[in-house]
Structure 1
Amino acid sequence: MENDKPLKRRHRVTLLLNDEEKKLIERYISKYKVKNSSRFMREAIVRTALKRLDEDRPTLFD
């Protein structure tokens, strides 16, 4: 970051889970002692998006 200030989060995103998805997330959070579930979900979503964008980018031989 150019000014060394953390980026302020201003946009709320809400998502819905079914019962099985919720149980899975809760089990993971409990098993791995995740202290901040919002951070965990945010990082998982961003990591998935970045990976997909990286995979889809044009390469020299495309």
Structure 2
Amino acid sequence: MKPKQKTSTVVRSKQVNFSLSDEEYNLMLLYIKKYKISNKSRWLRETVIAHILKNLEMDYPTLFGENEMRR
């Protein structure tokens, strides 16, 4: 028997569409196959959100601009 997967109660009603070149698409498929990713949609969503959250942590607001802080 397979273990039960957690079901999300979040309703995802917004869609995002983007285009990839053949090279980018093939690279993505290679990655998905290599790491045996079964849910591409979830993987893409988690990858994008993780990248955004990482950048938000590094891009925190400051009292002074970068040039003023380097003086």
> What is the TM-score normalised by the length of structure 1?
0.81
* Structure 1 runs not aligned, ≥5 long: none
RMSD: 1.9
Structure 2 CA distance for aligned equivalents of residues 7 and 39 of structure 1? 13
Aligned length: 57
Percent identity over the alignment is 41
Q: Which has the larger radius of gyration?
A: 2
Matched, 1:34 2:37: yes
Which protein has greater RCO, CA pairs closer than 8 Å, 6+ apart? 1
TM-score, scaled to structure 2: 0.72
- CA-CA distance at 1:6 after TM superposition: 2.0
- Runs of 4+ with >3 A deviation: none
